Amino acid sequence: MFILNEHAAYRKPLEAADAEVLGVAAARMVEHFLHHREGYKPTPLVSLPELSRHLGIASISIKDEGLRLGLGSFKALGGSYAVIRLVLDEATKRLGRTIDIAELHNEDVRQIAATMTVACATDGNHGRSVAMGAQLVGARSSIFVHSGVSEERIAAIARYGADMIRVDGTYDDSVREAARVAEEKSWITVSDTSWPGYERIPALVMQGYTALLTEALRQMPERPTHVFVQAGVGGIAATVAGHFSVLFGDDRPYFVVVDPSRAACLFESARAGHPVTVEHGESTVMAMLECYEPSLVAWRILSHTADAFMTVEDGDAVNAMRQLADPKGSDPAVVAGESGGVGLAALAKIASSASLRAQIGLGAQSRVFLINTEGATDPKLYQSLVGETPEQVTAKNAQPATM
Ligand SMILES: Cc1ncc(COP(=O)(O)O)c(C=O)c1O
């Protein structure tokens, strides 16, 4: 399914607070922070010339976040950044002077961090990032997981010293439970989704994601003309659309938000013209996108900046994983998890329809930007869906290409 954005706010300027969160100065600060992170290096921007020829467009550039900070997804940029910001804010307040990231490991700052507990709900990747941030600063973390989160993903979060709390129900139930318990225990909720009265911390999480765009724009020879970004609660999609709109104004690329058809909360919000909660039906293979309520901040930004909303099926997502693992001709192989290749799945769907191509102006001159938002964050599941291990797929790039 595909619809154009017909919201009254469409193409109107962002609200001032949103423009600031995703603005140039904010993106610079995120970069400054990242340069203090051990092991930081930009993720690759992979070009797929054979596939773009096959789809009848000029180029496809895919930012490979599977390699981000050892965490396997772009989420590594958001939750941990927010935790660091919160600790520095608290230290600034308690020590009575501005504390910079360079002082994060000073004894007085660590003592303050040790008194703080951060909490969040997660499908897997956001919790890993928050737990990693807490470990880095010396704070405690309590991470809430719903019944659909795999044991492998829970173990990957617990490795960062987090207390794991299991919640019956869906992701949205775990979000509510995390907020409730955090309130009761005076923990700080570091959520990647926002709701009325709770916007600042999720906005910081989104601000952290801008790093991948700063890197990508440096890596690209030319600006993209079209962008397809997958959505759970809409945080990453809103970051891309919002930041590009701040940077490029009316010249920004055409922006399509992509939802799984089984958890299409942004698509349905766009159809209704306001944020809606969709019914929980059968679960989707795109586990990280299985969210039934949009983030309020993300929805607000997307209502201004997204050009279109569409859905893809589970089969489309798995086909995209396989297509990236077993590329055409000399294109490099990319390890994309179940939610990672969804932007490509959407592009392939549009590219195969003459009327949709015409509707979004996709043609032989188009340069498409996609984000592989995660690598094989659940390696066993990856192998069962793709038929090869992540290591086998990666090894293809070290061998001469075969026909
Ligand atoms: C791998 C991956 N891709 C995409 C998303 C969607 O991000 P958002 O919830 O910000 O829309 C997530 C969210 O957890 C994710 O983990």
State yes or no: is 75 an active-site residue: yes
Report the pLDDT value the prediction gives residue 399, as an integer from 0 to 100: 67
Kindly list the distances between the CA atom of residue 121 and the CA atoms of 60, 130, 400, in Å, as whole numbers in the listed order.
Answer: 33, 10, 43
Residue 337 lies in a domain: yes
State yes or no: is 378 an active-site residue: no
- Pocket mutation for ligand 1, best pick of 201, 373, 377, 382 (most atoms within 8 Å of C-beta): 373
Residues 69, 88 within the same domain: no
Identify the residue whose tokens are 């058809």: 261
d(CA 81, CA 64): 19
Residue 196 lies in a domain: no
Domain of residue 153: give its range.
79-191
Report pLDDT digits (tens) over 205-236: 999 999 999 999 999 999 999 999 999 999 99
Q: Which of 18, 63, 64, 123 is catalytic?
A: 123
Q: How far is the CA of 185 from the centre of ligand 1 (A)?
A: 27
CATH number for the domain spanning 292: value is: 3.40.50.1100
Residues 97, 172 within the same domain: yes
Ligand 1, residues at Cβ distance < 6 Å: 73, 75, 123, 125-126, 192, 230-237, 288-289, 291, 339-340, 373-374
Which atom of ligand 1 has the smallest separation from the CA of 209? 10
Residue 176 lies in a domain: yes
Q: How far is the CA of 323 from the centre of ligand 1 (A)?
A: 21
What is the torsional sign of CA 101, 103, 108, 111? positive
398 band by pLDDT with thresholds 50, 70 and 90: confident
Report pLDDT digits (tens) over 351-374: 999 999 999 999 999 999 999 999
Report pLDDT digits (tens) over 28-60: 999 999 998 888 999 999 999 999 999 999 999
- Residue ending a domain, among 138, 167, 191, is 191
Structural domains of the chain, count: 2
Residues 52, 65 within the same domain: yes
Question: What is the chain's mean pLDDT, rounded?
Answer: 95
Residues 67, 83 within the same domain: no
Report the pLDDT value the prediction gives residue 78, as an integer from 0 to 100: 97
The pTM of this model reads: 0.95
Burial (CB count <10 Å: 0-12, 13-18, 19+), residue 292: buried
Burial 258-281 (b: 16+ CB within 10 A, else e): bbbbbbbbbbbbbeeeebbebeee
Residue 296 lies in a domain: yes
Report the pLDDT value the prediction gives residue 208, as an integer from 0 to 100: 98
